[in-house]
Amino acid sequence: MAVASLPSAAQTTANGPYYATPSWDQTLPSGTRFIILSNFASNAVLDRETGLVWERSPATTTNTWYNSLDACANLALGGRKGWRLPSVQELASLVDPSVTNPALPSGHPFLNVQSAIYWAGAIRVAAAPWVVNFSTGAVTFVSGTDGPHYAWCVRGGQNHSRDY
């Protein structure tokens, strides 16, 4: 079986369980931090630093914030539902501030990540959603929910629909 153009540093193992010990104080290299989950048909990635499970290939089309919330809530990836937009802290946890275009750690296993803005699940104030720019790694909020920006769905962890 030939595999074309896959990032090489991520660890792939047999079917889970993949017991993550998330503590947020860890700093793991990409080769041990990220595990491509074969029990999700290799379409999801476990981040062992945070315990979160990410889409391996986030959406490649932009959308409004509300439609992105809906798309994640209705996503069935690897035969599982329970996906959501990440909090701004969760999304920013993927950023390597020393890298740009995209601002992800070297050797990451993700596919089709755009050097662009991604929605976070929380609203800061009066419909001003948080975003992470994966071109630069910047975290900010934008005016309005119409975007259009990208969505990257996640499972696990905690999130709130409003951040007051």
Reduced to 3 states (helix: H, G, I; strand: E, B; else coil), residue 139 is strand
55 in Cβ contact with 43 (< 8 Å): yes
Q: Is residue 2 part of a domain?
A: no
74, 76, 81, 86 alpha-carbon torsion, rounded to 10°: -70
Q: Is residue 52 part of a domain?
A: yes
pTM for the model: 0.83
70-89 pLDDT, tens digit per residue, is 999 999 999 999 999 999 99
146 in Cβ contact with 131 (< 8 Å): no
Domain that holds residue 41: 30-164
The CATH code of the domain that includes 58 is 3.10.100
120-132 pLDDT, tens digit per residue, is 998 777 778 999 9
Reduced to 3 states (helix: H, G, I; strand: E, B; else coil), residue 155 is strand
Domain count along the chain: 1
Helix (H) or strand (E) holding 70: helix 65-73
Q: Is residue 102 part of a domain?
A: yes
Q: Is residue 130 part of a domain?
A: yes
